[in-house]
Structure 1
Amino acid sequence: MLGNMMFQPLLISSMIEHAGRYHADGLIISRNTDLSMVETTWAKVRDNAKRFANVLQSFGLQTSDRVATIAWNNHRHLESWYAISGSGLICHTINPRLFPEQLVFIVNDAADRVLIFDKTFLPLVKAVKPLLKTVEKFICLDAADSAVSEAMPDVLFYEDLIAAQTPDFEWPELDELSASSLCYTSGTTGNPKGVLYSHRSTTLHSYAICMPDSLNISARDVMMPVVPMFHVNAWGTPYAAAMVGCTVVLPGPGLDGASLVNLIDTYKVSVALGVPTIWQGLIGAAQQSGSKLESLTRNVVGGSACPPAMLRVFKEQFNCETLHAWGMTETSPLGTSNQYKAKHMHLSEEEKLKIRLSQGRPPFGVSLRITDEENGTNEIERDGHTSGNLQIKGHWIVESYFGKEQSALTSDGWFDTGDIATLNDDGYLSISDRSKDLIKSGGEWISSVELENLAMGHPKIAMAAVIAAEHEKWDERPILIAIKKPEADLTDTEILDYYADKVAKWQIPDKVIFVDAIPLSGTGKMLKKDLREQFGKVLLS
């Protein structure tokens, strides 16, 4: 017997329709590619999304055709997102910082029919255009621009296109299991792989983000997603923002510390989301300008582990709670977020900090387990100490990769993340490393993340990476690659001595290499593969 309740499919179009109706005057504050600021509203975003849906329909696109975007976090990009997915097409966000060869592979693999881009990326689009096999229309997310037209004569302009349309568009009632958006993994080894989200998975993920025990997003917030919209859909925050109707500040291309401080202080941002490298720049700029970031009550850190020193600075200098979160492209991305339980509230600040250092616990909708072998099914104890391979399952977790018939899951239906981690009884997750980044020295494992976090606590270090270097006796030994803070006087002996009372002697790095820059991916993660290629043999005689 079925329940006697209405059924409405969980669709992305319902989110923007809700925001446009019940939060019509809610602000969307956006920085353009020319760094000018624009203020619009949820009602205007909805109306322009409908106008652009009419544009896409006029192109003769079929349901589930892919429309690619190469753009910053701005209001036009947001409008196009809802137009694409809401009208039954698939929104394919592309990381512009990929190698051109990877970008070409991704567009061709997805068989994109339309490519939308910000003017910033005109040289990139023009360079790869002859190699794109399926793209029929190129749209610049701007008003008509003669320089763009001269460089690409067949280009169309977003503002011209929507000006010729009305907001009269009926969102189709799609199957909630139909595809809504497509993101590709970073492809650090081999070609990137596509992860195809559904309307249902995205809507449920948005609910999860908003929950108080998750990222706690509400209509009272002013949210600034610094994480790019091309990085797992800005962690799903543009959808959650429409679901609750909060004010959104979109930083465009201005991701330097000073620009972010200005946006936070000017528009009273209450919650911001980004990777640790972004927050390092923000902290430095705030300290230099004297800003206290008074409106910022919490920031969310993901993408890589947050150094303990960074949590302390945000809490002690800026009275800002830092929430660790963990996820992957394959998990939409939210897998865990770090919020306290009632029993933790009486703890000392130091004890609370220890909890904050973990990646948090899963919200309803996903489950985690630790196994004793990769892709294995033998679950090990959740004691907070015994580490193993992290696996996940749930409503918004990948089942198979785009275009691949083979399942991406274990034999009993879990996705193996490639992370090495522990879980405790409360579900708090502590990731010690990516399996490929662990260092095996003399048969014993060393966590590169732990050594990096300790190095980042040194007052003279701006950024640090630890990698495995080949060793004639021990197979592998850790080495530290570090960037000094400006004008800091720091020797390798000083930093190695700093480790002495913090880790076992055999875990201390064998060598310190000071560099001017550490290579980062398009999403702000350290490219350890590149570092291993450059420095992986420095200990060999």
Structure 2
Amino acid sequence: MALMGQMMAMPLLISSLIKHAARHAGDTEIVSKRVEGDLHRTTWAAAERRSRQLAQALARLGLQPGDRVGTLAWNGYRHLEIYYGSSGSGLVCHTINPRLFPEQIAWIANDAQDSVLCFDLNLLPLVEKLAPGLPSIKHFIVMTDRAHMPAQTTLAGLLCYDELLDAEDGRYAWPEFDENTACSLCYTSGTTGHPKGAVYSHRSTLLHTYASALPDALDCSARDVILPVVPMFHVNAWGLPYSCALIGCKLVMPGPFLDGQSLYELFESEGVTFSAGVPTVWLGLLNYVKANNLKFSSFKRTVIGGSACPPAMMKSLQEDYGVEVIHAWGMTELSPIGTLSKLSAKQLQLPKEAQQRLLEKQGKAVFGIDMAIADDAGQALPWDGQVTGNLLVRGHWVIDSYYGEHSSPLQSLDGEPGWFPTGDVASIDDYGFMQITDRSKDVIKSGGEWISSIELENIAMAHPAVFEAAVIACAHPKWDERPLLVVIKKPEAELTREQLLAFFEGRIASWQIPDDVVFVSEIPHTATGKIQKLRLRDQFKSHRLPGL
């Protein structure tokens, strides 16, 4: 008979994070730029107390364990309280992206069967429009105080968030329950058909929180001042609301104010050392600091994910502004962190150019994630940095099945079941660094050879006159598909098609150079900041390449 350990069997629960922060970093600040326009300051101790009051208020409204609490809200202290007050009491925190089309929001809320919807004040018109089509929602709660409650609304019985909390005494003991209980629910974006829900457990989220804060991951500590630019409705802000409680650091939240000037001023006034967001956000911030000849006084590192970070952006942040860039990759289905680009002691002995090439990849798997590349038959491919294949993952915080679905998306690798197909095409080198070469649906197949749209976009983004670039496939009678480059020029920049195509020469094989360039004033993005290539392909489906 096996000898069993004699250790305390304490379940891994979300409430343990906020309890720890309140007890051991209780006076550490949480700063929020509110939609009401002011800057709000609170502490981890006050946040934990208000989270307990919220748990009481939701119970008084009749919510039972397992009920879903929907949110339509930006990054702020009230949203943080909902994270902990709902999950900590056995409810499920369901963050919804307010940037989605109203029809998509309604579909997601109805699919999740949300019982309550909490929303920021500036989203009232959206919620008023949605409300008649949300039959499962029993209570609408506007996240504000009595002084800012709307004078008129079409929502019957609209509740005031702060009043609900003020009515409770906060004498609430966080319950203990099975750590595999659902704690939060996030829906995928950018998929074909309806979005799909990923249900995270308390256990998976706690393990993700531990791993993501490690030195070889996000390298978070109580010495940091962390500002998540990535929204709390985008895969739980990549887990940062949990990581910040784990380490007890100062947390700064920007609300909906994500323009370059607003972010820069908040970074400087609050002494932000670390941030996280998608490349489009950093484009806006970099353009602002460059245009105004500014520098960062405290900002030292950032994690960039959501889509591939252009090397030119990484180089500018690192060399011009002294900001370390941690390139990351993940998915909603991975809670979301899968890999990060951090160098080992051995790799730091490599020449600077070789180090940079590694850092530009999506990086190594953190503990808790395993990955592989496979051919279409499910056979493993070598890790040589050259061969590309379908990226598969498995791990402690990878989904087994989608919300409401009984069938599993998992597949086998070399006959071994239990691997999640990411839909990405990637290579893995002998250091274990993974590099996404494309989404399987975005790769360009030209004459039987694959061309990486990401590689072409990175080259285009390195041109000083290019603000943003996207590459899509155009139909070709001989080669099947050829690359079309869609570009936004920087303001006042002069750039011709011929000049830009000449820029590719010597940087990539000649047969991979795009066949044509189209200059546009806007490139469509998803609600999470990714380029909408599906819309671009539809927009240019009739584009005639030169010579045809």
Normalised by the shorter chain, which TM-score bucket? over 0.9
Mapped contact 1:187–1:193 kept (Cα < 8 A): no
Mapped contact 1:468–1:536 kept (Cα < 8 A): no
Partner of 1:362: 365
2:337 aligns with one of 325, 328, 334: 334
Secondary structure class of the residue paired with 1:345: helix
Distance in 2 of aligned mates of 1:446 and 1:417: 19
Mapped contact 1:481–1:515 kept (Cα < 8 A): yes
TM-score (structure 1 length as normaliser): 0.98
1:44 aligns with one of 31, 46, 56: 46
For residue 148 of structure 1, report the CA deviation from its aligned partner.
5.5
Distance in 2 of aligned mates of 1:44 and 1:18: 13
* Structure 2 residue 418 is the aligned partner of structure 1 residue 413: yes
For residue 128 of structure 1, report the CA deviation from its aligned partner.
1.1
Secondary structure class of the residue paired with 2:51: helix
Distance in 2 of aligned mates of 1:98 and 1:198: 25
Partner of 2:255: 252
* Structure 2 residue 530 is the aligned partner of structure 1 residue 532: no
1:214 aligns with one of 192, 212, 217: 217
Secondary structure class of the residue paired with 1:413: strand
1:467 aligns with one of 469, 472, 477: 472
* Structure 2 residue 287 is the aligned partner of structure 1 residue 284: yes
Partner of 1:152: 155
2:498 aligns with one of 455, 475, 493: 493
Corresponding residue pairs, total: 539
Structure 2 residue ranges without an equivalent (≥5):
none
Mapped contact 2:190–2:526 kept (Cα < 8 A): no
For residue 149 of structure 1, report the CA deviation from its aligned partner.
4.4
2:102 aligns with one of 100, 103, 123: 100
Mapped contact 1:149–1:155 kept (Cα < 8 A): no
Partner of 2:308: 305
- Per-residue CA deviation, residues 227-267 of structure 1 (Å, 9 max, x unaligned), is 00000000011001101101111000110011111111111
Mapped contact 1:32–1:252 kept (Cα < 8 A): yes
Amino acid at match of 2:454: V
Amino acid at match of 1:437: D
Secondary structure class of the residue paired with 1:468: strand
In the TM superposition, 1:107-186 aligns within 5 A as 107-144=109-146, 145-147=148-150, 149-186=152-189
Secondary structure class of the residue paired with 1:38: strand
Mapped contact 1:70–1:95 kept (Cα < 8 A): yes
- Per-residue CA deviation, residues 260-303 of structure 1 (Å, 9 max, x unaligned), is 11111111111110000000111111112332112111111000
- Per-residue CA deviation, residues 364-396 of structure 1 (Å, 9 max, x unaligned), is 1110000011xx431111111111000000000
1:12 aligns with one of 11, 14, 18: 14
Mapped contact 1:35–1:254 kept (Cα < 8 A): no
Mapped contact 2:401–2:407 kept (Cα < 8 A): yes
Distance in 1 of aligned mates of 2:518 and 2:386: 32
- Per-residue CA deviation, residues 147-199 of structure 1 (Å, 9 max, x unaligned), is 36434242101111111111211111010000000000004310000000000
Partner of 2:459: 454
Secondary structure class of the residue paired with 1:122: helix
1:62 aligns with one of 61, 64, 81: 64
Distance in 2 of aligned mates of 1:184 and 1:107: 10
Distance in 2 of aligned mates of 1:172 and 1:226: 32
Amino acid at match of 2:462: G
Structure 1 residue ranges without an equivalent (≥5):
none
Distance in 1 of aligned mates of 2:6 and 2:313: 51
Mapped contact 2:149–2:160 kept (Cα < 8 A): no
Partner of 1:238: 241
Secondary structure class of the residue paired with 2:211: helix
The two structures, once aligned, show a CA RMSD in angstroms of 1.1
For residue 146 of structure 1, report the CA deviation from its aligned partner.
4.6
Partner of 2:267: 264
- Per-residue CA deviation, residues 296-318 of structure 1 (Å, 9 max, x unaligned), is 11111000000010111011111
Distance in 2 of aligned mates of 1:436 and 1:146: 46
Partner of 2:87: 85
Mapped contact 1:471–1:539 kept (Cα < 8 A): no
Percent of aligned pairs sharing the same letter: 50
Secondary structure class of the residue paired with 2:469: strand
User: CA 1:248 to 1:146, structure 2 compared with 1: closer, same or farther past 3 Å?
Assistant: closer
For residue 97 of structure 1, report the CA deviation from its aligned partner.
1.1
